[in-house]
């Protein structure tokens, strides 16, 4: 059999299949235990491998600068000079504890742990080390993590949404409305700008986000934004409808606070001019507002749940909703909001039952059931009924009209 070790393809002859399988299990076991595939590669320090990892992908220059900023502030002192093969899960646990002692928010620590895990995954793929020491201490890895369906208790009522927003600082209140009314994620709401708005059509282009840990994408500082959003590549744009009421809220925000930067960013740090608000600060403001409103169980994600729930209940097709909120496929939407979809299907069946029941009641005895023989007289009656259905269906809006229905007509145009 052939296998790869230390970057070299090796061959070992076996007479029996059982011996070959046993040998293969042993190789994988040594990898799992962290055995060095190549002693020389394993002696490379973390700083060296980090630099190689940053340069390995097709990243924009600003993204590279962002990663180097994260490295200098959070990884260099703890891991920089340590050989890759000597870094253990305990080392990562100590690093996490130190991050907590330094007062960093949990969201930021979690984001940096994911970056750290990505570096070790690269090292495993490049056969620098045998296993990722971050796996045992990083319960937030996306790979293989099942999506969790929401419950009714996870979805706030309209009154609860308004109660939370009423307790929010006016400086970022419009961002909370954008989450509830457009289905934006917190980082996406913080990155709303005049350049992303189509005021006349009531559409927002979502292609930027403020990260949970420092970025240098636009402003050149750790409080910048980066191009690209979750499940979307850099430069890829998704679009979502902006109800007239939300357009008015955003328009009022611009009138009160103005915009800044080349793109006309809507939200600015309360402490630093020409800087985005901190992602963690934004989440903290939501938590405080939810607690003050008497609904501490809700999180910013609850506002997306509210948006999707209202859209499903309104009968908007799942493929439209998935595109608006940035799900990879409608399957994601179904897995998370399955019970809402099932309720919508029940309502659809009830509507059709009532519709057909009323029509057939007046024609009872004249209109045959599907599959039964049809004489000439009954065929004429059935044809009349079919024409009635066709005429009625032509009066209904198709999916291309859903967006126009979402925004009222004959309303004033928002911010120019």
Q: Is the pLDDT of residue 130 over 70?
A: yes
pLDDT at 18: 64
Residues 106 and 207 in one domain: no
Task: Give the alpha-carbon dihedral of 298, 303, 309, 312, to 10 degrees.
Answer: -170
List the single range of 25-39, 52-66, 316-330 with lowest mean pLDDT: 25-39
142 within domain boundaries: no
Tokens of 393: 């269906």
Q: Is the pLDDT of residue 245 over 60?
A: yes
Q: Is the pLDDT of residue 265 over 70?
A: yes
Q: What is the mean pLDDT of residues 242-260?
A: 95
Q: Report the CATH number at residue 393.
A: 1.10.443.10
Residues 63 and 11 in one domain: no
pLDDT at 152: 86
215 CB neighbour count, 10 Å cutoff: 29
Identify the bridge partners of residue 241 per DSSP, sorted by sequence position. 203
Domain boundary among 117, 137, 157: 137
Q: Is 263 helix (H, G, I), strand (E, B) or coil?
A: coil
320 within domain boundaries: yes
List the single range of 123-127, 159-163, 209-213, 217-221 with lowest mean pLDDT: 217-221
Residues 195 and 218 in one domain: yes
Q: Is the pLDDT of residue 15 over 50?
A: yes
Query: Among the ranges 122-131, 314-323, 402-411, which has the highest mean pLDDT value?
Result: 314-323
pLDDT tens track for 328-382: 788 888 888 877 766 666 666 777 777 666 555 555 555 454 444 444 444 444 4
The DSSP secondary-structure symbol of 48 reads H
Measured in degrees and rounded to the nearest 5, phi and psi for residue 29 equal -65, -40
Domain boundary among 137, 157, 178: 137
221 within domain boundaries: yes
Tokens of 154: 């996870």
Q: Is the pLDDT of residue 313 over 70?
A: yes
CA-CA-CA-CA torsion sign (261, 266, 270, 276): negative
Residues 44 and 8 in one domain: no
366 within domain boundaries: yes
235: confidence class by pLDDT, cuts 50, 70, 90: low
pLDDT at 415: 47
Q: Is the pLDDT of residue 290 over 70?
A: yes
Q: What is the mean pLDDT of residues 241-251?
A: 94
pLDDT at 281: 87
Query: Among the ranges 135-139, 199-203, 324-328, which has the highest mean pLDDT value?
Result: 199-203
Number of domains in the chain: 3
100 within domain boundaries: yes
Q: What is the mean pLDDT of residues 74-89?
A: 89
Q: Which residue has the higher pLDDT, 299 or 386?
A: 299
> In the chain, pLDDT over 90 holds for what percent of residues?
27
Please spell the DSSP secondary structure of 195-214, one letter per residue: GGEETTTTEEEE-EEE-SS-
Q: What is the mean pLDDT of residues 402-415?
A: 44
- What is the distance between the alpha carbons of residues 83 and 362, in angstroms, rounded to a whole number? 83
List the single range of 7-11, 49-53, 54-58, 262-266 with lowest mean pLDDT: 7-11
Radius of gyration of the chain (CA): 28
Residues 294 and 393 in one domain: yes
- What is the distance between the alpha carbons of residues 262 and 246, in angstroms, rounded to a whole number? 23
Would you give the end-to-end CA distance of the chain in angstroms? 69
- What is the distance between the alpha carbons of residues 106 and 83, in angstroms, rounded to a whole number? 27
Residues 124 and 265 in one domain: no
Helix, strand, coil % in the chain, rounded to nearest 5:
55, 5, 35
Domain boundary among 98, 116, 137: 137
Q: Which residue has the higher pLDDT, 78 or 386?
A: 78
Q: Which domain holds residue 256?
A: 147-416
Mean pLDDT of the chain: 75
106 within domain boundaries: yes
pLDDT at 228: 59
**Using an 8 Å Cβ cutoff, are 5 and 37 in contact?**
yes
pLDDT at 180: 95
27: confidence class by pLDDT, cuts 50, 70, 90: low
């Amino acid at each position: 059999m052939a296998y790869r070790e230390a970057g070299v393809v090796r061959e070992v002859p076996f007479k029996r299949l059982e011996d070959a399988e046993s040998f293969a299990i042993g190789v994988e076991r040594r990898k799992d235990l962290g055995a060095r595939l190549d002693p020389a590669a394993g002696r490379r320090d973390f700083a060296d491998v980090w630099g190689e990892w940053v340069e390995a992908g097709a990243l924009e220059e600003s993204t590279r600068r962002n990663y180097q900023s994260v490295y200098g502030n959070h990884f260099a002192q703890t891991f920089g000079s340590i050989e890759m093969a000597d870094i253990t899960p305990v080392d990562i646990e100590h690093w996490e504890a130190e991050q907590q002692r330094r007062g960093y928010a949990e969201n930021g620590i979690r984001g940096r742990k994911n970056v750290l895990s990505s570096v070790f995954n690269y090292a495993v793929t490049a056969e620098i080390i045998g296993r990722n020491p971050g796996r045992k201490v990083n319960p937030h890895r996306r790979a293989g993590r099942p999506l969790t369906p929401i419950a009714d208790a996870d979805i706030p009522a309209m009154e609860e949404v308004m109660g939370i927003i009423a307790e929010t600082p006016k400086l970022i209140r419009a961002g909370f409305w954008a989450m509830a009314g457009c289905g934006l994620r917190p980082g996406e709401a913080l990155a709303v700008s005049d350049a992303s708005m189509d005021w006349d059509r009531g559409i927002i282009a979502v292609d930027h986000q403020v990260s949970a840990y420092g970025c240098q994408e636009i402003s050149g500082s750790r409080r910048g934004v980066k191009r690209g959003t979750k499940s979307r590549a850099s430069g890829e744009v998704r679009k979502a409808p902006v109800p007239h009421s939300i357009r008015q809220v955003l328009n009022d925000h611009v009138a009160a606070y103005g915009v800044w930067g080349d793109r006309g960013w809507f939200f600015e740090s309360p402490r630093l001019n020409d800087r985005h608000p901190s992602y963690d600060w934004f989440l903290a403001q939501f938590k405080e507002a939810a607690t003050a409103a008497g609904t501490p169980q809700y999180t910013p994600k609850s506002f997306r749940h509210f948006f999707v729930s209202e859209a499903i209940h309104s009968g908007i097709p799942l493929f439209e909703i998935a595109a608006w909120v940035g799900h990879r496929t409608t399957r994601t939407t179904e897995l998370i909001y399955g019970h809402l979809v099932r309720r919508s299907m029940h309502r659809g069946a009830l509507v059709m039952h009532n519709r057909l029941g009323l029509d057939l009641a007046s024609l009872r005895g004249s209109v045959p059931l599907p599959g039964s023989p049809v004489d000439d007289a009954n065929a004429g009656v059935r044809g009349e009924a079919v024409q009635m259905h066709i005429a009625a269906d032509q009066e209904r809006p198709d999916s291309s009209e859903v967006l126009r229905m979402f925004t009222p007509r004959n309303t004033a145009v928002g911010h120019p």
